[in-house]
Every structure is written in C-alpha cells, then in structure tokens.
Amino acid sequence: MAKMTPRTLSGFMELLPAPQQQMERILQTLRETYSLYGFTPLDTPVIESSEVLLAKGGGETEKQIYRFQKGDADLSLRFDLTVPLAKYVALHYNDLAFPFRRYQIGKVYRGERAQRGRFREFYQADIDIIGDGKLSILNEAEIPSIIYQTFSSLGLKRFCILVNNRKILNGFYAMLGLTEQSGGIMRTVDKLDKIGSEKVAELLTGELGIPAEKAVEILSFIAINGENQQVLSNLEAYRGRDSLFDEGLDELKTVVRHLSDFGVPEENFAVDLTIARGLDYYTGTVYETVLLDYPEIGSVCSGGRYDNLAEYYTDKQLPGVGISIGLTRLFYILGEQKLLNPAMNTAPADVLILPMTDDLSASIQTATSLRASEIRAQVYTEQKKFKQKMSYADKLGIPFVIFLGEDEIAQEKVSLKNMHSGEQELLSLGEAAAKILKKLGEFDAIQPIC
Amino acid sequence: MAKMTPRTLSGFMELLPAPQQQMERILQTLRETYSLYGFTPLDTPVIESSEVLLAKGGGETEKQIYRFQKGDADLSLRFDLTVPLAKYVALHYNDLAFPFRRYQIGKVYRGERAQRGRFREFYQADIDIIGDGKLSILNEAEIPSIIYQTFSSLGLKRFCILVNNRKILNGFYAMLGLTEQSGGIMRTVDKLDKIGSEKVAELLTGELGIPAEKAVEILSFIAINGENQQVLSNLEAYRGRDSLFDEGLDELKTVVRHLSDFGVPEENFAVDLTIARGLDYYTGTVYETVLLDYPEIGSVCSGGRYDNLAEYYTDKQLPGVGISIGLTRLFYILGEQKLLNPAMNTAPADVLILPMTDDLSASIQTATSLRASEIRAQVYTEQKKFKQKMSYADKLGIPFVIFLGEDEIAQEKVSLKNMHSGEQELLSLGEAAAKILKKLGEFDAIQPIC
C-alpha cells in the first residue's frame, strides 16, 4: 500500500512525551494558581459564528483568521479568548454574579506567516475580572500579585511586572493639547529603546509636527524612571493640570500601595511610563511582564483595565481588568533558553513492575495496590529480554523498578531498584511504597522552570 | 451603536460556571486515573493537513468533517483522536519507547445534523497502548480494569463492561463458511434488541440469503449468555472447528482470568457475544460499557484491539488496544439524568473575605495567608450594601465568609461564617483556616456522579 508521509503542520506545536509532561505541569500550576484567587474555569467553543466573533470588525488580525463555510454557516476559529468572553458574559449575563472572575486556558488560532517561535495554534492563559457597571481599583491592584504568584509557582525568579496607567498618559497628552496625536506619539515613543531619544525627537517634530518644546516635555516625561516612590513623586509635579491625569496618578498610587499587602516583593514590580499597550480599549492600569535576563523576548504576560468588555453585544456597561499569557510561545522560549527544569519527573510512571514469573497475578496485584497509594504503576507485560525491559525503564526515565520473581513472591516481598542511585533492596510492599512516595514528594517540590 | 446578538453555535456545549466546575472535576479525575496506569498525556493539533488526516479516505465521517482552505493549504479539523495518534506514532516512532501508553483528552469536530444530545464539538478521552510489532494479550486484560477504575473514581457504581473477542466472531462465521457475509450478519444481529430474533432470522435468510439451518446456528450462538464462566464453557463446545475461534476463546479466557487480579468485581463485567463494534479495524478483544439503569443510552466507553494502527503512514506493524469516552455526550446525559452530584463544591472560591473597614490591607493580608494554605480566597472589593455582598457569596455557593472589621483586626481574629450551617465564630486566622480545610476535605470526598 502507498503510504502518506506523516507530518504536522508548520506553526503547530506537537510535543514529545517528556516535554508534554512539562507542559502539563505548567498548565496544572496555572489552573491551581488562578483558582486560589477565586477565578472559575470557563471553556468556550473553538468555533464561533463569524458575525459574532468579528462583530468588532476590521483590525489587523482579521486577515489571520481561520474562516470558512460549513453548509450555510460562516464560521471562524477564535483568535483570542477575550472576544469569546465578551460574548459569554453578554449571553449569560443573567446567570452570572458580578464581579465575575474567570480563567480560561485554551487554544486560539491565527494564520500568521510561519517563522521560528511563531505559532498558528497556541494556548492563551487568561484571567479577567468583570464588573457590572463599576469595578473597584483594588482589582487592578490585585492583578500584579496574581502574576507574581503565577510565575513564582512556576519557579521563575528574575522577572519584573511593569505597570502604568493609561489615564496618566492620556492626561499628560491632554495637558499638552496633544490628545489627537497621542496614538502617533505613543507609537513613536515606543521605539525609544531601539532608536534612541534624539531620533524619537526628530520623528515627533518632523512626522507628527509637534512643536519642539512639547517634544522636549514628552521626552522628559517618558524619561522619568527609578525607584517606584521616586517615579510617583516625580509624577506629583504634574498634578493639578489635568483631572484625568490626577485620577490616573491616584490609581497608580493605590495599586503600588497595596502591593506589599498582596505579597509582591519590590524587586518584582516597577512603575514604567513607557508601557502603553497597543490596544485601544485599555483605559486604566496596564501591565507587561519581562524576564530580566531575556529582555529581547518582550512581555510574557500583558493586559490591563478596560471600560467596556462587550459593547458590541450589549448596552450593559461591563468594565474589567485582565491579563493573558501566551503559553505556547512562553513554553517555546523556555525550551530555547534551557530554562525548563531537567530535574522534573517527566516519566509516564513512577514505577515499572517487571514480572519474573510466567504467572503475572502477583505483579498485577502489586500494581493495583500501589495505585491505591496514588503511585503511578505500570506492569511490563511484553516478552522481552531482561536488558530490553530495563532499557525501557531507562529510556522513559521511570525512577523505580520492582522485580517480582519466585523468591520475592514466596517471601511476600518485592525487590525495589532506584534507577537513579542503582540501589536495590528487598522490601515489603508497604516499605517499597513509602520509599517511592518519599521520592515523589521530592519531585513535587521541583518547579518546572529553573 | 447597533448590537450583534450574542449566541453560541448549536451543537457546541458552553457551560455556566457551576456545571463547568463539575466538568473540570471529571477531567481532572480522568487525567489522574489514566496517569495511575502509566499513560502519558499527549496534545496534538486540532487542525491537520487534509491529506494526512484523510489518508484512510472515504468513510461515513468524511461528509461531517470541517474542511477548508487557508491560503494554499487544504486543512481539516480532527474528527477523532485515533488518526492523530496514528500520525504521531508514525512521525515520532524513533523517539518513542514501546509499548507506548498515551492518553489524550481533547476536542474533536463532526458537522453532524444538530439534534438534542448530539454535539459538533465534543471532548473525547482516549487511552491507547501501542506495541512495536507485537503486543501482549495482557494489555487487553488490563483495559477493563482501567475502565472500572475510571468510572468508580467518578462515583458511578451501576455499570457493566461488556467484552467480546472479534476472533471468536470471525472464527465462528468461518466455521459456517460465512466469512464473506460476516459484516452483513453482524449488522443484522446488532438489531436483535430492537426487532427480536424472528425478524433477525427473516433478514438473515431473506436479505442475506443465508441457509435457514445456518441462521438457526447464528441465533443460538448469539443467544449464549449468563454468568461469565457459563458463557466461556458454552463456547468450549465450538473448540477445534476453527483455529481463529480457538485463539479468540483463549484470549477471552485470559482476559477474564486476570480481571480479579486487576481488581474488577464480577458484577461490573460481562462476556457478551453480541458486542462487535462497527469499525473494521478491531481484530481482538472489543469493549463496550453500559449504565445498567440507562440501557437506552448505549455504550459510554468503547474500544478494542487492533492490529495495525498506522498502516496509512508506515510499514511498521503497530498493534494496539484502546478505548474512548465521548465525554461531552456523557456529561450531557449525566446532567439530563440528574446524575451530577449537587453536593459537589462548584463555587469559584472557598472563602469570601468581606472587609468592614475602609483600609483593605488586613483583608488582603488575610487572603494572601489563606492562599498559602491552598485555600481559594477572594476579597470582596466592591462598594455594595452588606446584603448584596452576602447574596454574592450565596449565589456563587461560596461555603465560608470571613468578616474583618475594626474589632476583629484589633483582636487579631477573624469572624468566620459557615454559609451552610449559618454558624459564625470569632477565631484566630489559623483556627479559621483549619475549619475551612476540614470542610474542603469533606468536599474532596464527594464524587462528581451520584
């Protein structure tokens, strides 16, 4: 028979078993962490009606959308988890309690140009808090603590959560009478790191036609940095010139003030006036998260406050705040940078039982009993040479092997071999289980990122 | 602004938060149970190249497939998890250790006619064991124990795993010289429950042109039932007439013999000669699982042994055995039959903290501290009347509320209210955490199905 060469589409991540175990561990950590903060899991369809999904219309992503006909229906694959959330909240409004806190971890689809580290199918891990009409600023203060807890639980230490407030930026531009140009200014200022301040000043006065003295003000404003308290007190100098600015500054101070209550250390947090987030709909606090040793990667967790989640579906005012982790890309980067902890237990089983007799009953009973202690146990059932059986355990990284021969069965014992140390002992099944569980406890303490 | 009416496509399950929590618990139980048996999780793309996915071609499902162009690419959404597994094993053959045991829980897509209880997007939860060249019969004996453990862990008691062996059926038809007609015979015999044995006999002799005496033999063979040992000894009467039959009978006896070692009680297991499974590729043991009180639902977990997983992609002989749970349909049925346990904790948080002072620092610190004990804690931050705050906890079914006012803060205590009993106590934070954890332990013991 002619064979079809098997292949996986480019831009689609398909992991081998060991890295998949690492990914599962990360997924589980995210689920547990988000749950600790009272977020409820949601799962919405991957396919939506195109008119519903694209109600907002236009935008850069539209070309990238997987859109197709099925029968009479015009369908699209979701390209993020925010639009489905907006639909969900508008549709199920009467069944929800607000503030509505949800997390969703799911695959989204964007037909981007294929290139290294870019994915067409990728996981997003989102949390959002949606208010009904109003939402307290304290929710904005809580978000950095969730980011902190999430990355800390994964094992990451050298990261920084950058925070800004769009009201400060918009208020500042209003002070200068440059509200109309603020979009262009922010895009230009965004290039500061790449092209330097002189070139930015040239673009501001040239392309955007901004008076030189205002360009100077913009650059000096953007240049405000240093310790968080220093930045906040520098910003105080602008107070009283624009009410939106003042409101944003008060919000930012509230966010910063509550961070230690929320358990976020100073070194993992910075006020950064250059953070604006491209999306139009952010209206208050905005967040980015950078890995201090890998600044070139950019933000690995971003989001912010918005005033109107579902304006395309409902007249209800639904303000919210949320963040998103691009998990597939993050996982790819962690792998590339050798940050995935090789000490993690990625074996499919904790113990492999090798029957040394024709009758497998004792081995099967042993496995059944170990599983009752929550030990992942596999009986090796194939007719192979001893060496091949051992190399199976070895290849899969299974930490323990139990041998069960006539002698062991007669003595009601098992021979337990620690595959790492090579140590082998004759033990009761209870003793063997205790040894294995002790080792598993050590494994549990190993975080996925090193 | 004109609003787009939000809607979710028909045939796509989208759950409210409380049932979603039940679904998540089921998903987690499946992941844990499959892991206990040494299955490793896999996650393959939802989209595959059409020529790869449809290499086998034809078939009834082809019309149902979501297939579309994106740029030059002819793409399809997966319609099961078996074809992606075949592709995966063929593609990554050199990186895998055999027997390869994997589980995959993921969404698949079939554009069926929309009707109640039929889904176009649904979860399948599959396990498979793939051998390289050979695979011991003991794997077929292990599968019912995994089905048993899975459903028991979910809380189900009144179910039965039906087992047959295709070699017995094929061998039996060979004995009668009816190998060619076996497909048609099995499809006809499948209607036994619905139309009765007389009508089946008519169809066999009429439509299929089978001699009357052979039709009688078929019906008396299919009528063999009773206790497992009785069925097996009745089958012994046919031994020696066909070698395939004899092989199948030996395999079936091996499977039955090991079941008690594997911990499967007699009442959850039955040899049933009417089970054949429609799919052509099953070649040995086949399984169906029925809910004893809801026979009309049909099988909720099916599968079997096949000889050649990936013949469309590779010359390698890859025999395997696997089962699949149609999870979305099962969840729907459980809901319809009121079998989802209402006692399950479906709240998004274990405790809601109500600050009774303007300064929220104490409340935030309390939440942070409770989370460190793995208690899911939410601070209620909105400016609402007391009654509204309590009704929020009530609506979400949050089991505990903590009040933190001036008095509590001054005494370094918290007021803990058990929302179920109404009991309210002034406790140290440690005492409150202990009370909550005790209750959570009780919740953990509640199984999702009642």
Give pLDDT tens digits for A178-234: 998 888 888 888 888 788 889 999 999 998 899 999 999 999 998 898 999 999 999
pLDDT range class, residue A58, cuts 50, 70, 90: low
Q: In what order do the strands lie in the sheet with B282-291?
A: B40-41, B100-109, B121-130, B320-326, B301-306, B282-291, B159-165, B269-271
pLDDT of residue B182: 86
At residue B184 the predicted structure's pLDDT band, cuts being 50, 70 and 90, is confident
Q: What is the pTM of this model?
A: 0.95
- Give A407's contacts (C-beta < 8 A, 6+ positions apart): none
Distance CA B311, CA A329 (A): 34
**Is pLDDT of A276 > 80?**
no
Tokens of B293: 């009180």
What is the model's pLDDT at position B175?
95
Q: Do B45 and A12 touch (CB under 8 A)?
A: yes
Q: Does the pLDDT of residue B58 top 70, yes or no?
A: no
As a whole number of angstroms, the distance between CA A140 and CA A161 comes to 13
Q: What angle separates helix B138-154 from helix B243-258, to the nearest 10 degrees?
A: 40
User: Are the Cβ atoms of B45 and A121 closer than 8 angstroms?
Assistant: yes
Tell me the average pLDDT across A21-31. 97
Tokens encoding A149: 């807890």
How large is the angle between the packed helices A192-205 and A212-222, nearest 10 degrees? 160
Mean pLDDT confidence for B407-416: 97
pLDDT class for A61, splitting at 50, 70, 90?
confident
Residue of B nearest to A110 (CA): B70
Distance, in Å, from the CA atom of B392 to the CA atom of B398, rounded to the nearest integer, reads 9
Chain A residues in contact with B82 by the CB 8 A cut-off are none
Quick one: tokens of A302?
Answer: 């971003």
* Integer Cα distance of A422 and A390 in angstroms: 12
Among B1, B5, B74, B363, most A C-beta atoms within 10 A, so best to mutate, is: B5
Closest CA to B162 of B72, B258, B269, B35: B269
Question: Strands of A159-165's sheet, edge to edge?
Answer: A40-41, A100-109, A121-130, A320-326, A301-306, A282-291, A159-165, A269-271
Percentage of chain B beyond pLDDT 70 is 99
Nearest residue to A150 (alpha-carbon basis) of A322, A33, A262, A35: A33
- Gap between the terminal Cα atoms of chain B: 48
- Helix (H, G, I), strand (E, B), or coil: what is residue A136? coil
Rounded average pLDDT over B226-230: 92
Q: Are B46 and A44 an interchain contact pair (Cβ–Cβ within 8 Å)?
A: no
In A, minimum Cα distance to B89 occurs at A6
| pLDDT value of residue B159 | 96
CA distance B211 to chain A (A): 37
Give chain B positions within 8 Å (CB) of A46.
Answer: 46, 107, 121
* pLDDT > 90? residue B431: yes
**A189 token code pair:** 């200022």
Tens-digit pLDDT profile for residues B71-105: 899 999 999 999 999 999 999 999 999 999 999 99
- Do the chains contact at B136 and A383, CB–CB below 8 Å? yes
Nearest partner of B153 among B291, B329, B288, B27, judged by Cα: B27
Distance between A315 CA and the closest CA of chain B, angstroms: 8
Q: To 10 degrees, the CA torsion angle through B242, B245, B249, B250? A: 70
Count Cβ neighbours within 10 Å for each residue of A40-66 and write b for 16 or more, e otherwise. bbbbbbbbbbbebbbbeeeeeeeebbb
Angle of helix B243-258 relative to helix B166-175, nearest 10 degrees, comes to 150
Pick from B7, B48, B376: which is nearest to A49 by CB?
Answer: B7
DSSP A398-420: -SEEEEE-HHHHHHT-EEEEETT
> Contact, B15 vs A92, CB < 8 A?
no
Q: Are the C-beta atoms of B423 and B436 separated by less than 8 Å? A: no
Band (pLDDT 50/70/90 cuts) for residue A157 is very high
The pLDDT score that the predictor gives to residue B57 is 75
Give Cα B288 to chain centroid, integer Å.
12
Site from A32, A62, A81, A378 to mutate, B interface, most B CB atoms within 10 angstroms? A378
Return the higher-pLDDT residue of B328 and B281.
Answer: B328
The stretch B121-146 carries a mean pLDDT of: 96
CA distances from B269 to A232, A349, B261, B293, B447 (A): 70, 27, 14, 15, 22
B22 vs chain A: nearest CA distance in angstroms?
A: 10
* pLDDT for res A281: 80
The per-residue pLDDT for B445 is: 92
Mean pLDDT along residues A69-83: 95
At B437, the amino acid letter reads: L
Q: Which of A143, A53, A188 is nearest to A324 (CA)?
A: A143
Residue A112 pLDDT: 82
Strands A320-326 and A121-130, by their bridges, are: antiparallel
Q: Hey, what amino acid is at B124?
A: Q
pLDDT of residue A263: 86
Residue of A nearest to B315 (CA): A3
pLDDT, average across residues A88-105:
98
- Determine the pLDDT at residue A279: 61
Task: Work out the angle between the directed axes of helices A17-36 and A138-154 (0-180°, nearest 10).
Answer: 150
Cβ–Cβ contacts within 10 Å for residue B319, how many? 21
More confidently predicted of A114 and B111: B111
Instruction: Say if residue B279's pLDDT is above 70.
Output: no
pLDDT at B2: 80
Chain B residue numbers with beta carbons less than 8 Å from the beta carbon of A134 are 382-383
- Mean pLDDT rounded to a whole number for chain A: 94
Q: State the complex-level ipTM.
A: 0.95
Total beta-carbon pairs less than 8 A apart between chain A and chain B: 254
**Cβ contact (<8 Å) for B12 and A69?**
no
**How far is residue A355's CA from residue A379's CA, in Å, rounded to a whole number?**
8
Q: What is the least distance, in Å, from the CA of B359 to any CA of chain A?
A: 10
Q: Under a CB-based contact definition with an 8 Å cutoff, are residues B160 and B270 in contact?
A: yes
Distance from the Cα of B42 to chain A's closest Cα (Å) equals 6
Lowest average pLDDT, out of A404-418, B45-59, B93-107, goes to B45-59
CB contact under 8 A, A145 and B368: yes
Name which of A274-288, A424-438, B250-264 the model is least confident about.
Answer: A274-288
pLDDT tens string A1-11: 689 999 999 99
Q: Closest Cα partner for B55 from A405, A343, A3, A9?
A: A3
Let me know: does A436 contact A370? Beta carbons within 8 Å.
yes
Residue A277 pLDDT > 80: no
- Percent of chain A past pLDDT 70, that is, above it, reads 99
Q: Which residues of B touch A354 (CB under 8 A)?
A: none
Question: Side chain identity at B206, as an amino acid letter?
Answer: G
Q: pLDDT at position B276, please?
A: 76
CA–CA–CA angle B288, B290, B293 (5° rounding): 170
CA distance to A48, A84, A96, A100, B223, per residue, from A92 (Å): 16, 12, 7, 11, 52
**Is pLDDT above 70 for A278?**
no
Q: Which of A178, A169, A187, A175 is nearest to A209 (CA)?
A: A178
Helices (H), A136-181: 138-154, 166-175
The answer to whether residues B204 and B215 touch, using CB atoms and an 8 Å cutoff, is yes
Measured between CA atoms, the residue of chain B closest to residue A2 is: B312
Closest approach of B86 to chain A, Cα-based (Å)? 9
Comparison of pLDDT for B284 and A276, the residue scoring more: B284
How many other C-beta atoms can be found within 10 angstroms of the C-beta atom of residue B175?
Answer: 17
Who wins on pLDDT, B184 or A437? A437
Q: Which amino acid is at B210?
A: I
DSSP string, A216-280: HHHHHHHT--SSHHHHHHHHHTTTTS-HHHHHHHHHHHHHHHHTTTTT--GGGEEE-TT---S-T
With CB atoms and an 8 Å threshold, state whether B381 touches A348: no
pLDDT of residue B136: 95
Report how far apart, in Å, the C-alpha atoms of A271 and of each of A144, A148, A162 are. 12, 15, 6
Contact indicator for A120, A9 with CB cutoff of 8 Å = yes
User: Collapsing DSSP states into helix, strand and coil, what is residue B6?
Assistant: coil
| Rg, Å, chain A Cα set | 27
* Backbone φ, ψ for residue B329 (5° rounding): -65, -45
> How confident is the model at residue A274, as a pLDDT?
85
Contact A136 B383 (CB under 8 A): yes
**In this structure, what is the dihedral angle of CA atoms B19, A327, A126, A293, given to the nearest 10 degrees?**
140
- Is the omega angle on the peptide bond into residue B99 within 30 degrees of 0, that is, cis? yes
> What would the mean pLDDT of B184-194 be, rounded to a whole number?
84
